[in-house]
Amino acid sequence: MKNFVKKSLNIAIGKSRPVSLIHFVTNRCNARCPHCFIDFDDPVTQSDALSLVDLEKMVKSIDNTLMNVNLTGGEPFLENKIEEICRLYLNHTSIDSMFFSTNGALTNKIIRISEKLSRDFPDTIFTFSISIDHIGERHNSYRRVKNLYENAMSSYHKLSRISENVQPNITITVCDENAEDIEEIFETLVVKEGVKSLTANIVRDEGVFKIDPAQKEKIFNSYCKLIDLIKKHKLSYSGENYLGRMMNHKEEVMYSYFKDIYLDPKYVLPCHAGGGLMGVIYPNGDVYPCETLEKKMGNLHDYNMDLMKLWDDNDPLRSWIKESQCHCTYECAWSYNILSSPKHIPGLLKASLKK
Ligand code: SF4
Ligand code: SF4
């Protein structure tokens, strides 16, 4: 890991510099999932993408505490500049891993880019999280894209043959559409398709999407079932290295909290999003603490693309998040809230050492 001491001190003690950024490189998408939070009818959503010149300035401003960037969207591989954006982060920041959240439709482009990046940056881990909601035609009609399931599975299998630093993963977001069929979906993916890495998310209120309250308990029970299956079949991170063992322990802690707070929302751990350990960058340069809280940290254009200046101006928001005991089930923030928690650091270290 690059800058190990500085990164560790920031996570464990300082908690004031970015460790992870979620970067929406585009709002455009070829799919139309009913649970999507993007308002595709709003013209503002589709405007004002940052130029490569702007992005270069932005990435060069980021402190060398950054460990991971998650490139998402919309569908990130629809963005023409996606490879250049990846290279900006890889060449000018201290990241150790790059994460893509994709629907997996553009197989040829995904494979071409991942082959080049994994060869040019052999020390970086490239994780591709490919979303699957259902099997075959049910997936295609839910997301309203012809052959999406077939292409997504083809992307998964081709990615798994590239190299050790390319790690494809199937992510199921448990929602109203798939809650009743979750065991059948799991079985097909694992037995028939041979999926070796699978994670579960649970649908949440976000943007224009709101969960039907009458379905919440059914969705939650199905999510718990899926978590148990993933654990039983050891389909999360590889236990071969310390990082995988630490991440598996983190997932277990997170799931045990979610069992308590999904149906009965309450504060249990401080959140370090927004001027702390993580933030979200939108295509027009808006920066937010997370995808849930509607309190903008600022727009990069107003800071001459200097993300750290914008970050430093957000101490009041950081204090507000802490003092208001802001809480939610946003998985990305939860990961860093657990990894930086004095209550959980000893358990994480112990798990990482135990083979
Ligand atoms: S693939 Fe992702 S971005 Fe596209 S519509 Fe579905 S949830 Fe939204
Ligand atoms: S608790 Fe949730 S909503 Fe609040 S800042 Fe953290 S991630 Fe955002």
DSSP 104-152: ---HHHHHHHHHHHHHH-TTSEEEEEEE--SSHHHHHHHHT-TTHHHHH
**What residue's CA is closest to ligand 2, atom 4?**
326
Q: Which is it for strands 166-174 and 97-102: parallel, antiparallel or unpaired? A: unpaired
User: Over the Cα atoms of the chain, what is R_g?
Assistant: 19
Q: Does any ligand 2 atom lie closer than 6 A to the CB of residue 330?
A: yes
The burial class, CB within 10 Å (0-12 / 13-18 / 19+), for 42 is: exposed
Answer whether 286's CB lies under 8 Å from 299's CB: yes
User: What separation in Å is there between the alpha carbon of 276 and the centre of ligand 2?
Assistant: 11
Query: Can you say whether the dihedral through the CA atoms of 29, 33, 37, 43 is positive or negative?
Result: positive
Residue 216: both structure tokens together = 């919440």
pLDDT at 209: 59
193 burial via Cβ count (<10 Å: 0-12, 13-18, 19+): middle
| Confidence at 100, pLDDT banded by 50, 70, 90 | very high
Which atom of ligand 2 lies at the shortest distance from residue 321's CA?
5
Counting beta carbons within 10 angstroms of the beta carbon of residue 31, is it exposed (0 to 12), middle (13 to 18) or buried (19 or more)?
middle
Distance 72 CA to ligand 1 centre (A): 10
**Predicted local distance difference test score (pLDDT) of residue 148:** 97
CA of 68 to the centre of ligand 1 (A): 22
Answer yes or no: are the C-beta atoms of 64 and 6 closer than 8 Å.
yes
Does 240 score more than 80 pLDDT? no
User: How many CA atoms does the CB half-sphere of 46 hold within 13 Å?
Assistant: 8
Q: Is the CB of 31 under 6 A from ligand 1?
A: yes
pLDDT of residue 206: 61
Instruction: Compute the distance from residue 138 Cα to the ligand 1 centre, in Å.
Output: 16
Whose structure tokens read 């959140």? 271
Class of domain 4-353: alpha beta
Q: How far is the CA of 85 from the centre of ligand 2 (A)?
A: 27
Instruction: Establish how many alpha carbons lie within 13 A of residue 214's alpha carbon, considering only the half-sphere containing its beta carbon.
Output: 0
**C-beta 332 within 6 A of ligand 2:** no
276-294 residue pLDDT tens: 999 999 999 999 999 889 9
Q: Is 204 in the pocket of ligand 2 (CB under 6 A)?
A: no
Query: Residue 38: nearest ligand to its CA?
Result: 1
Q: Which residues contact 179 (CB under 8 A, 6 or more apart)?
A: 215, 218, 219, 221, 222
Cβ–ligand 2 contact at 292 (below 6 Å) = yes
How far is 103 from 76, CA to CA, in rounded Å?
9
**317 Cβ inside 6 Å of ligand 2:** no
In this structure, what are the phi and psi dihedrals at residue 21, rounded to the nearest 5 degrees? -120, 140
pLDDT digits (tens, 9 = 90+) for 17-39: 999 999 999 999 888 988 787 87
181-195, 240-254, 303-317: segment of lowest average pLDDT? 240-254
Helices assigned H by DSSP within 160-306: 182-187, 216-232, 242-261
What does the alpha-carbon distance between residue 347 and residue 355 come to, in Å, rounded to a whole number? 14
Fill in the DSSP letter of residue 59.
H
pLDDT of amino acid 208: 55
**Residue 301 pLDDT exceeds 90:** yes
Alpha helix positions (H), the chain: 4-9, 52-60, 82-92, 107-120, 136-143, 148-159, 182-187, 216-232, 242-261, 307-312, 315-323, 331-339, 345-353
Q: Is the dihedral of CA 276, 277, 282, 288 positive or negative?
A: negative
Whether 328 has a pLDDT exceeding 70, the answer reads: yes
Distance CA(290)–CA(174), nearest Å, equals 20
Tell me the backbone φ, ψ of residue 130, rounded to 5 degrees: -100, 125
**Residue 326's pLDDT band (boundaries 50, 70, 90)?**
very high
Q: How far apart are the first and last CA of the chain?
A: 20
Q: Work out the burial of residue 9: count CB atoms within 10 Å of its CB; fewer than 13 is exposed, 13-18 middle, 19 or more buried.
A: middle
Q: Higher-confidence residue: 15 or 247?
A: 15
Q: Which residue has the higher pLDDT, 210 or 96?
A: 96
Candidate of 29, 141, 206 to mutate for ligand 1, largest count of ligand atoms within 8 Å of Cβ: 29
pLDDT of residue 205: 67
Domain residue ranges in the chain: 4-353
